A and B are shown apart, each in its own frame.
Chain A
Amino acid sequence: MTIGLMKNSLENTSRRDFLVKSAATSGALAIGFTLPGLANGAPAPDYGSEVTHWVVIQPDDTVVIRIARSELGQGSFTGLAQLVAEELQCDWSKVQPVYADVNMHIKRNRIFKSMSTGGSRSIRDSQEYIRKAGAAARQMLVAAAARDWGVPAAECRAQDSVISHASGKRTTYGKVAAAASTMEIPTDIALKSPGEWKIAGTSPARFDIPAKTNGSQIYASDVRLPGMLFASVTRSPVFGAKLNSYDESKAMAMRGVKQVVADEDWVAVVADNWWRANKALLAMPIEWDKSEHDYVSSESIMQFLRTGIDADDVPVAREDGDVGAAFANAAKVLEAEYHSGFLNHATMEPQNATALYTDDRLEVWCGTQNGETTAAAASETSGMPLENVIVHKMHAGGGFGRRVFHQDYTKQAVKIAMAMPGTPVRLQWSREEDMRQGRYRPISLVKLRGALDKDGNWTGWHVRQADQSIILTVRPSMIKDGIDPINTRCFRDNPYAVPAFLNEYALRNPHVPPGFCRAVAHTNNPFYRECFIDELAHAAGKDPYQFRRPFLQGTMDLPLLDAVAEAIGWGTPAAAGVHRGIAVVDSYGSFTAAAVELSVENGKEIDVKRVVIAIDPGHVVHPDAVKAQMEGGVIWGLSFIMNEEITIENGRVAQGNFTDYPVLKLAHTPQIETIIMPSGGFWGGVGEPPIGAVIPAIGNALFEATGERVRSMPLNKLGYSYKS
């Protein structure tokens, strides 16, 4: 990254001085217009007195809280603001969250720490330093008032943006903010215990919602600038193949078309209306080079993975006890293979970015999960120094990991804009492009073996994984001794206290580009693990819930398993024709479990009646947002196991739209019962954890209902469907 080069150009500039400068040089105002709709439901302008770099207070007492992470609908604008406001002890009705400026972040030596919005980390990674920022700001505001009044700060009280003293003196944050902003930021700060919280731990209305109910929320897709043109792009359908030739004559003659821009593996058409740009692109003859991957298929990739399953020797991720002896002494040995294919994020807002390039400046408007990564990608693509790159973060129409690392759409938008200096160009991918140029949840094949003794006790297991590593493509240094630390999650770090356990990992990367997709390895590994444990339980003649419990004693997983078992009524008879399944998974620092009830009609029509999902994320900042993430996670789990698969034919993606990549619909939404049981003492994630346990719970209930053990996803390939 070029970020490291951007050392402290303004480190010695005073905060107030910086504000004046940044107001003059950054943001859309500098080029003489405002974005439509921003007045409605949009954050306050970032002006006022910067008390700390996270808290800006305006004279009318408005508290602007800068949010470094992205709002993807998970509620970060509200939850992160709650944590700051809790310690600031300000009037919540005066709070206005605003994106922390990416350019300011870079120029001030990465003052907002991480801007990454992935790995379910927005709250858990930043909670401590943003709470401290709120507390520091409160101390400074109180100190400013105390100094003004000539009384000890310790005698002053701060609550709801009002500072008061026993003498009857009274002022507000807005009146003392300018004085406070000149003070040193204290570093010795005590934080409240969560038991003292009044704002955090409650569910105020989310800031981002009203504008999302009346069309006024401006997504990156909705950016409209004076003179702006629209572009549609197509990249080589066989990943990695180069552009051979194209004939732009017909496209250039079509109405509204302004320019054709090509790069080594893509072609874009720029027009005065996106539909015209896309129509011309579709009409353009384009030839791609032949590639060594032209004959790759999902089947050939699966055969490639099988070489990892069949190999004599593969890297060991974890080994406990004597696995050889456990299997040699077993009364019963179970062996099974599980697999699943590629998945696409399929965000409802297809990838897009707007760029405006001039001689000395590059502006990008983008829905991104990391504004800093977007800025770095724009800088590297254009050669524009990072300090001259302005990224306008827009709320994203879904992220799920697609908008973190790759920024392929940003790079394309920048290149197109560079071909048309001074003209803003908004690149919009078609849905088909979005489906075929994904960064896919990897394909995987896993062989599991389990050993049971004569009493049906689980004495050993052996898991060999063969799959595609994402981290190899983005941070290869994280691969140690051939082990992908992310793809081995759920096995390598499993909580079951089985005496002998061997986890082997065979890295097998095909040419299809992989990416982090919401819950990542916890979209598939829990299915393999928890369904196989269910197989072991049945082989042992034991109840699947009771079979698991002895191996989870003393873990933080067990209370979750118990909670969903109780809620679903495990151990009591289900209604006639209704069958249950259960599973437990920990991920992203949180503990979850799921139990489901379903029935099966006509042999293959699944009617999911209830899903009980429980989570222990340690602390909860916004309970209703956590509940919403759990509800959404259940939908993802149900959609993944039944509907979704990206397949490869002739080196390219076979699917192109929601017609052949069907995602779950409302009609298939079961009754969802959420259990939030924070135990305190740690901070876990929430966005991804709810998905993992749902998928195996469905698989396990399906076995109870049909006697058929499903060992691959999606189930529609096995003839199943959800009952309509």
Chain B
Amino acid sequence: MTSLDVNGKQVTVDVEKDMPLLWVLRDELGLTGTKYGCGVAACGACTVLIDGQPVRSCVIPASSLGGKKITTIEALSADGKTHPVQKAWVQLQVPQCGYCQSGMIMAAAALLDRNKQPTDADINAAMTNLCRCGTYARVREAIQVAARSI
């Protein structure tokens, strides 16, 4: 049995030692906001926060995360809309298909948590998530808008 702190709640799951966190979240706990995109940490659609750091959950075994705080998109803000990044995303109408955006938003939130005034170069370096619709220009602008509001 693996005990996890997910979005402030203690949960216990009976899964293999090598099951990545992504599949515990999606298929064991029903937290489907975190997406499967590649399975090899290449796209970032599965990004969650672990002790505040952005982590690609498709490659990290859940069994390694005992005692750590796991935050998914569902708990970024209590009401699902008041985190500065979420507000900026709506204000600038960032998402298109939206499938990558959970991971994109978690990566952006983590960036702003450690860097209140990111430069374009900081954003380029931190935001390596893939978006196939091509929302990057708005992602960059929305991060700046969110930074100004914090």
A73 to B101, CA, bound (A): 12
Digitize B84-125: 1 where CB-to-A-CB distance is under 8 Å, 0 elsewhere: 001001100111111111100100000000000000000111
User: Which of B40, B93, B130 contacts A628 (CB under 8 A)?
Assistant: B93
A211 to B124, CA, bound (A): 26
A74 interface contact, C-beta 8 A:
yes
A689 interface contact, C-beta 8 A:
no
A636 to B37, CA, bound (A): 18
Interface residues of B, count at CB 8 A: 61
B52 interface contact, C-beta 8 A:
no
A212 touches B39 (CB 8 A): no
Digitize B32-60: 1 where CB-to-A-CB distance is under 8 Å, 0 elsewhere: 11111111101101000000000000000
The interface centre, meaning the residue of B34, B42, B77, B137 with most chain A CB atoms within 10 A of its CB, is: B137
A214 interface contact, C-beta 8 A:
yes
With both chains docked as a complex, state the minimum distance between the C-beta of B11 and any C-beta of chain A, in angstroms.
15
B138 interface contact, C-beta 8 A:
yes
For residue A74, which residues in chain B have a CB less than 8 angstroms away from its CB?
96
Digitize A204-218: 1 where CB-to-B-CB distance is under 8 Å, 0 elsewhere: 011011111111111
A485 interface contact, C-beta 8 A:
no
For residue A212, which residues in chain B have a CB less than 8 angstroms away from its CB?
95, 98, 101
User: Which of A211, A272, A397, A624 contacts B97 (CB under 8 A)?
Assistant: A397
With both chains docked as a complex, state the minimum distance between the C-beta of B125 and any C-beta of chain A, in angstroms.
7
A5 interface contact, C-beta 8 A:
no
A258 to B30, CA, bound (A): 20
A26 interface contact, C-beta 8 A:
no
A431 touches B137 (CB 8 A): no
For residue B80, which residues in chain A have a CB less than 8 angstroms away from its CB?
40, 213-216
User: Which of A37, A208, A273, A397 contacts B27 (CB under 8 A)?
Assistant: A273
For residue B93, which residues in chain A have a CB less than 8 angstroms away from its CB?
205-206, 209, 624, 628
A399 to B99, CA, bound (A): 11
A348 to B99, CA, bound (A): 6
B145 interface contact, C-beta 8 A:
no
A276 to B100, CA, bound (A): 24
Chain B residues within 8 Å of A, Cβ to Cβ: 15-16, 19-20, 22-23, 26-28, 30-40, 42-43, 45, 72-74, 76-77, 80-81, 86, 89-90, 93-102, 105, 123-125, 127-140
Chain A residues within 8 Å of B, Cβ to Cβ: 36-37, 40, 72-74, 205-206, 208-219, 221-222, 224, 230, 255, 272-276, 346-350, 395-400, 428, 430-432, 624, 628, 631-636, 639, 657-659, 663-667, 669, 672, 724
7 contacts between A and B (CB under 8 A): A72-B97, A209-B95, A214-B73, A349-B97, A395-B98, A628-B96, A658-B130
Given contacts A205-B90, A636-B134, 8 further A-B contacts (CB under 8 A): A72-B96, A209-B94, A212-B98, A213-B90, A275-B19, A430-B39, A631-B137, A635-B131
